[in-house]
A and B are shown apart, each in its own frame.
Chain A
């Protein structure tokens, strides 16, 4: 679990070094406008741009692929859903799967959705692959004026996440030791899962409560203005990154509109 959360980029790469808030804003501002259209071209262009800037973030393509592979599951899910439920079955008939006609129309729509999934998710993967969680929390508080109680509190909770994996294994083994297993009964398996998850939640809440007391004992609730041991600065280059993201997003949409492929979502 920790592996998926730790930054894995070369920290000296030109864009990896940028302020975490700037990176987050750039990712959101670049990818969100693309949702406005349903055509497959817009996300395709966006994805090309994203892949082109990957080296600037100091991330290897192989690393990106390892991080992003769960998206393939989502993509496959989208494909299946579209084949089963797509309303528009226009275009040439390619294949008949029982009652489901697989047509070029269905595949184009599925392709559009899958490309959108990747185009929106890859910037997020890039940001978190190149950003230390501590730096992100610092920047959110110092540069984006997020409440410290929220940002630092979330960071502290985040630190406890890897413990949950070990805790889950212990709870599972402990249930077997108590003579409780599901065998081949799927209903029993669901019940067992729910009860284990509940025990995990109870444990996590207790632990979180103790952590909160320890944090308050060190003055986290004092209400006095905090100072910052690690300074995060929002430089001109950070602003340029955000502006660049907006411009590229606009350029992508403009291309689609110019080619007459723009299909607004509403």
Chain B
């Protein structure tokens, strides 16, 4: 178990004017389990990268000192292990056991010791498969457990977890938290914005101040009693702060789109539903039930292999419409906003849709300015969409769909991974759109979203489809 000492620590990335993290004094004793909080941009991830020894001396400017057991983290890399958000970009090898062995090979562990250590690490995270299991066949939660095992195999005294459940569905996040909760041999620092779920794993909370320094430090009860309001305002999901429901006052208006027995081979079992103007329909269900596929079908992006979608009085189903026609009727918002960006400026991004619909330049300018204003993006009009924060990118992706004024909006996990502030903004915006007569379909795992704004819920069957990933076989080569 390691001890961490920071004295006036700061870091400024090369080429940036502002310090990513600054004036941090912190002492973490052997075996402590710390939740590191702060509004987005407070430098939590930078601090973890510094502790993991990943900030190369020539990649920025440092201030103060940072030590793990009295050593510079860059010189004591084996002391710290770090797990990141996305399991897909942490797994290196095709077979699970090989992946855990990868770090041990890098450290020059004698071959005879490697496999016992691999089994030990896999046992500690509760990995249920043999070591030959293909890493491509793992679910998100299982893959993240494997990534954790790969780090634990190196027996670090300090375990750093940078939002390890942010990319996972609730079931996967539970798997990972269960594994982390069972660990006892490390000092641990966890960054996580779903605070309520993370609290059972920690015994101390440290809040970073965005301008620099530590705002609060103590037991969870102490910190949230003193700073709960302020943290909640800044977007931290402080436990106990609920949001009043925003349900529709009126009954649903005329039907916009109806799906009859639509199915997509191996991705979506037959389902029938309809959505009307002025209602929010939440589509829920476990992973692999085909929720995202259904969103693509309703959005007119994917052709169903069976059944029929019709709407807007058109004889043709939505997937046969021209793209410009489609965007004037149905707007789709993808789970990953970056998939939808096609220009290098935020304002241009909003102008794409209206231009394609043949709006005049004056009209386009009016639509763009109006949306920038409504979604608090005015200051970012000239910014590159790829440089936006998670919350800003999400707002922009919703705005791009609204630019063509579609009556129906289809959103895939709109609130996924958002901080509390963006979450409230989004939910309020969707409620307003609904009250203005838009129909809204949201595919979601988020219970709070369903409780707060959904007028109707359509659960997709739990009956798993026959092998949803037929091309990914478990590897059979020991």
A interface residues with partner B (beta carbon < 8 Å): 1-3, 6-7, 11, 132-135, 152, 155-156, 159-160, 162-163, 170-171, 173-181, 183, 195, 199, 202-203, 207, 210-211, 213-220, 222, 224-231
Contact = CB atoms under 8 A, between A and B. Distances in A.
Given A134-B94, A179-B327, A229 B105 contact: yes
A230 B106 contact: no
B92 A215 contact: yes
15 contacts: A134-B95, A155-B94, A159-B136, A160-B89, A174-B334, A177-B332, A177-B334, A195-B342, A217-B54, A219-B78, A224-B107, A224-B108, A226-B106, A227-B109, A230-B101
Contacts of B234: none
B101 A173 contact: no
Contacts of B332: 174, 177
Contact of B91 (A159, A173, A177): A159
Nearest to A165: B471
Nearest to A219: B106
B104 interface: yes
Nearest to B87: A214
Considering residues B89, B323, B332, which has the most beta carbons from chain A within 10 angstroms of its beta carbon? B89
Given A170-B334, A173-B301, A178-B340, A218 B103 contact: yes
B399 to A, nearest CB: 12
A2 B342 CA distance: 29
Contact of B92 (A159, A162, A183): A159
Given A159-B93, A163-B88, A170-B334, A177 B340 contact: yes
B154 interface: yes
B302 A173 contact: yes
Given A155-B92, A173-B302, A177-B332, 5 more contacts: A156-B92, A178-B352, A180-B352, A227-B109, A229-B115
A55 B356 CA distance: 58
Contact of B339 (A7, A170, A179, A224): A170
Given A226-B106, A227-B105, A229-B111, A211 B92 contact: yes
Contacts of B400: 178
Nearest to B325: A179
A3 B471 contact: yes
Contacts of A179: 323-324, 326-327, 352-353, 356-357, 404
Given A159-B94, A217-B54, A180 B111 contact: no
Contacts of A160: 88-89
A159 B322 CA distance: 36
B440 interface: no
A4 to B, nearest CB: 10
Contacts of A135: 477
A167 to B, nearest CB: 8
Contacts of B475: 132
A2 B324 contact: no
B296 interface: yes
Nearest to B110: A227
A177 B335 CA distance: 13
Interface in B334-387: 334, 336, 338-342, 352-353, 356-357, 386
A174 B337 CA distance: 9
Given A173-B301, A218-B151, A224 B106 contact: yes
A227 B88 contact: no
Contacts of A178: 323, 327, 340, 342, 352-353, 400
B78 A229 contact: no
A229 B472 CA distance: 25
A228 to B, nearest CB: 6
A11 B477 contact: yes
Nearest to B93: A134
B77 interface: yes
A152 B104 contact: no
A-B residue pairs, 5 tightest by C-beta: A219-B106, A181-B323, A218-B103, A179-B327, A229-B101
A171 B323 contact: no
B477 A162 contact: no
Contact of A2 (B54, B82, B136): B136
Nearest to A137: B93
A228 B327 contact: no
Nearest to B91: A159
B86 interface: yes
Contacts of A207: 88-89
B111 A210 contact: no
A78 B224 CA distance: 73
Interface in B182-215: none
Given A2-B136, A2-B472, A156-B92, A227 B111 contact: yes
